[in-house]
Amino acid sequence: MGLDARFQQIHGDDAESRWWRLSLEQSRVGTVAAGLVEEADFEAAYREMAQPDFHDLSLAVLTA
């Protein structure tokens, strides 16, 4: 047996960053209502993820 970890790269305005925007949007109302994040934080994140020079790693996908 073994364990494999895969990290999806996120680049500005690619399919992965658009997926994250849609995913974040699903939690937006509840997160803002709970006072955990402000509306402006979501908008700033969306602008950043749309930039061509944006790079990040998605969550790890583990396979055992």
DSSP lists the bridge partners of residue 55 as 11
pLDDT in tens, 3-53: 999 998 999 989 989 999 999 999 999 999 999 999 999 999 999 999 999
Number of domains in the chain: 1
Q: Which domain holds residue 17?
A: 4-63
| Model confidence, pTM | 0.75
Residues of 12-46 as b/e, b for ≥16 C-beta within 10 angstroms?
eeeebbeebeeebeeeeeebeeeeeeeeeebeeee
3-state class of 17 per DSSP? Answer: helix
